[in-house]
Amino acid sequence: MIRKTTCLVLLVSLFFNLKILTLLAGTITVSQDVSVSATVGGSQTSQVNGGGGGQLNGPIAIPQTSVRFSGDAYPDATVTLLENGTVATSVTADSKGLFDITLPEKYDGTILYSLEALDINNQKSLLINYPLVVTDGYLTYVSGIRFPPTISLDKVQVAVGGFLTVSGYSLPDTKLQIVIEGPGSQINKTFTLNSGDDGSYDITLPLMALLAGNYSTYIRYPDDTRISKLVSFIIGDSDVSSINTTLNLPGDCNADGQINLVDFSVMAYWYGKPNPPACVDVNHDGIVDLTDFSILAFYWTD
For residues 135 and 113, state if they share a domain: yes
For residues 171 and 262, state if they share a domain: no
Answer whether residue 99 shows pLDDT above 70: yes
For residues 184 and 254, state if they share a domain: no
Ranges 3-7, 113-117, 158-162, 218-222: which has the least confidence: 3-7
What are residue 297's phi and psi, to 5 degrees?
-60, -35
Answer whether residue 280 shows pLDDT above 70: yes
Stated pTM of the model: 0.67
For residues 45 and 79, state if they share a domain: yes
For residues 233 and 203, state if they share a domain: yes
For residues 156 and 68, state if they share a domain: no
Answer whether residue 156 shows pLDDT above 70: yes
Answer whether residue 169 shows pLDDT above 90: yes
Domain boundary among 146, 177, 207: 146
Answer whether residue 166 shows pLDDT above 90: yes
Closest-CA residue to 188 (of 147, 146, 235, 222): 235
Domain boundary among 90, 122, 146: 146
For residues 74 and 142, state if they share a domain: yes
- What's the confidence (pLDDT) of residue 62? 55
For residues 108 and 205, state if they share a domain: no
For residues 55 and 106, state if they share a domain: yes
* CATH code of 108's domain: 2.20.130
* Total count of domains within the chain: 3
Q: Do β-strands 175-181 and 187-194 pair in parallel, antiparallel, or remain unpaired?
A: antiparallel
Domain with 213, as residue range(s), is 152-244
- What's the confidence (pLDDT) of residue 197? 96
Domain boundary among 86, 119, 146: 146
**Burial label, 19 (beta-carbon count in 10 A; 0-12, 13-18, 19+):** exposed
* CATH code of 1's domain: 1.10.1330.10
- What's the confidence (pLDDT) of residue 245? 54
For residues 165 and 142, state if they share a domain: no
- What's the confidence (pLDDT) of residue 31? 38
* CATH code of 236's domain: 2.60.40.1930
- Over range 96-120, report the average pLDDT: 90
User: What's the rounded Cα separation, in Å, for the pair 189 and 158?
Assistant: 15
Helix 290-298 / helix 6-16 crossing angle, nearest 10 deg: 170
**Burial label, 237 (beta-carbon count in 10 A; 0-12, 13-18, 19+):** exposed
pLDDT digit string, tens, across residues 46-71: 333 333 544 445 555 555 789 999 99
For residues 66 and 133, state if they share a domain: yes
For residues 167 and 240, state if they share a domain: yes
